[in-house]
Amino acid sequence: MQSILTIVLIIALGYALRRKKWFDDNFAGTISKLLMQIALPASIFTSVLKRLSLDKLVSLSSGLVYGFGGVALGYIVAFLLVKLLKVRPGRRGTFINMFVNANTIFIGLPLNMALFGDKATAYFLMYYVVNTVSTWTLGAFLMSWDDPTKADNPDSGKSTFNWKKLLPPPLLGFLVALVFMFLPFDVMKVSWLSFLINALDYVGSLVTPLSLVYIGIILADAGLSSIRFDRDTVVALLGRFVMAPALITLLIVGGMKMGFSIPSLEAQTLIVQASAPGLAVLPILADNGHGDVEYATNVVTTSTVLFAVVVPIVMVLVQNI
C-alpha cells in the first residue's frame, strides 16, 4: 500500500507542476528521450549485476521455465484478443504489454519484501529476469511496431528497416550486463570502478520518478476526465490482474500434477509478481512509437490504483498453493 501511495503522489506532483506551467510543451519529450536512451539502460545494467549471478540463474531455473511459459501464453491470448476485439493501431502494443509485463521493480520488489521477506528474494529475481527480457525484446518491439502513422504512409517502412528497433537501448543494457556476468570476477566489487558504478546508479535511479512525473504531465495535458474505463481499458486490466496470474497458476498446478515439485513460497512469489500493475514506462514507449499515450497513461494509472484492492485478493487465493 505504501508503494502505491508513493507512486500516486509522484504522479500528482507531475500533474500539478504541469498545470502550474513549470514544464513547457517540450519537457515530456525530453524526459522520454532521457529515460529510453540513458537512464533505463543504466538502471537495467546495474540492477542485473547487483541482483543476479550465474549460480542463481542455474539453481532457480524452474522459476524461469514457469515465468517464460506464462509470458508466452499471455502473448498468445493478448494477440488473439487484439484480433477479436479489433483493438485499433496505437493501442495494440500497450494492450498486449498490459497482459504480459508488470511493474516488478518499483511495486513488485517492495511488495515481495513486505509479504514474504528476504527468503523470497531469489524467487523474485527469476520473475524479474523473465519480465525484463519480455519487456525489452518482444514488448518494446510491439510498441514500436504498433505505429499508427504507418497507416498514413504505408510505404515509409518498406525501403529500409530500422534494426535499432530490435535492439533498443534498455535491451542492450541487459545484454551487456549478461556479458559482464560471465566474467571471472564481480564487476560491482572492483574498487577502482566504484565511481562508474555509482554514476550508473545515480542515472538509473531517475527512471521511476521521471516516468511517474511523465505520467502526471500527460494526465495534465489530457485532463483528469481522460481517465475512463472503456472497453480496451477494462479488458487490459482484466488481462493484468486476472489472466496473467491465472496463466502462471495453471502452469504451476499442471507442473505439480505431472510430478515437478516447486516450493510453495516460489509459486506464491511468481503468482503475486504476475499480478503487479502495468509498467510505468508504457506511456514513454507509446510516445516513442507514436502510439496512444493517453490510453497508455490511463491503463498504467488505473492499474496502479486498483492494485491496492487486488493485492489482498491475490494473497488469499495463493495461500493454499
Q: What is the CATH number of the domain that holds 131?
A: 1.20.1530.20
Which residue has cell 507512486?
7
Q: What's the mean pLDDT in 172-195?
A: 85
pLDDT at 314: 84
Closest CA to 73 of 258, 270, 269, 247: 247
Question: Which residues have a Cβ under 8 Å from the Cβ of 119 and sit 6 or more positions away?
Answer: 265
> Is residue 64 domain-resident?
yes
Rounded distance between C-alpha atoms, residue 239 and residue 245, angstroms: 9
- Give percent of the chain above pLDDT 70: 91
> Is residue 157 domain-resident?
no
pLDDT at 154: 55
> Is residue 313 domain-resident?
yes
Q: How confident is the model at residue 86 (pLDDT cuts 50, 70, 90)?
A: very high
- pLDDT (tens digit per residue) in 117-132: 767 877 888 898 899 8
> Is residue 154 domain-resident?
no
Q: What's the mean pLDDT in 29-41?
A: 85
Quote the domain boundaries for residue 178. 2-148+165-318
- pLDDT (tens digit per residue) in 228-278: 899 999 999 999 999 999 999 999 999 999 988 888 999 999 999 999 989
> Is residue 155 domain-resident?
no
Q: How many domains does the chain have?
A: 1
The overall average pLDDT reported for the chain is: 85
Neighbours of 126 (CB within 10 A): 26
**Bigger pLDDT: 152 or 318?**
318
* pTM score: 0.77
> Is residue 159 domain-resident?
no
> Is residue 158 domain-resident?
no
- Give percent of the chain above pLDDT 90: 34
| pLDDT exceeds 80 at position 22 | yes
> Is residue 224 domain-resident?
yes
Q: How confident is the model at residue 61 (pLDDT cuts 50, 70, 90)?
A: confident
